[in-house]
């Protein structure tokens, strides 16, 4: 005698033994397939998140490298600026020294010009007196 597999007693007996009917097996397989699809989707999301995290890490590394280069450039510019300022101070000191020497030379030149003017005035005065004396001598000496 062959029993029908869908009889309630057989179904109950199979459930008690942990066996599933084909419908339960199909339901379990569908649940398993859905879980597998969820797992695959989650793995894909995880992979995308890891890839995004890697891109962010790469960008951060690039940013850190760029910032380090900018700092080196800034430090080089500061060093150049400081060197230019030091050179400017040296040039300023040299210029002030030359200006002081020029001022002293101009003062000496003005003093010499004044002395020359005074000497010329004295020469003109003595020349006049000599001409006057010569004129008197010439007048006395002519009969």
pLDDT value, residue 2: 52
Q: Which two tokens stand for residue 79?
A: 């060093």
Q: Which two tokens stand for residue 115?
A: 């002395």
pLDDT value, residue 143: 55
- Bigger pLDDT: 143 or 55? 55
Query: pTM score > 0.75 for this model?
Result: no
pLDDT value, residue 140: 83
Find, among 3, 2, 21, the residue nearest to 11 by Cα. Answer: 21
Q: Where are the domains of the chain?
A: 8-141
How far apart are the C-alpha atoms of 39 and 46, rounded to whole Å? 10
pLDDT value, residue 132: 94
How far apart are the C-alpha atoms of 33 and 85, rounded to whole Å? 76
| Cα angle for residues 134, 135, 141 (degrees, 5° grid) | 85
What is the per-residue pLDDT across 58-115, written as a single tens digit (0 to 9) for each?
Answer: 999 999 999 999 999 999 999 999 999 999 999 999 999 999 999 999 999 999 999 9
What is the per-residue pLDDT across 7-45, written as a single tens digit (0 to 9) for each?
Answer: 877 777 766 666 656 777 788 888 999 999 999 999 999
């Amino acid at each position: 005698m062959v029993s029908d597999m869908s009889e309630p007693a057989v179904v109950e007996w199979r459930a008690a033994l942990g066996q599933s009917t084909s419908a339960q097996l199909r339901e379990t397989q569908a649940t398993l397939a859905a879980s597998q699809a969820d797992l695959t989707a989650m793995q894909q999301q995880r992979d995308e998140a890891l890839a995004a995290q890697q891109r962010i890490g790469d960008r951060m590394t690039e940013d850190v490298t760029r910032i380090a280069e900018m700092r080196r450039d800034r430090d080089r510019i500061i060093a150049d600026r400081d060197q230019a300022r030091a050179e400017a101070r040296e040039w300023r000191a040299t210029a002030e020294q030359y200006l002081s020497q020029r001022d002293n030379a101009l003062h000496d030149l003005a003093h010499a010009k004044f002395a020359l003017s005074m000497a010329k005035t004295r020469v003109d005065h003595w020349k006049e007196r000599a001409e006057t004396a010569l004129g008197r001598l010439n007048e006395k000496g002519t009969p």
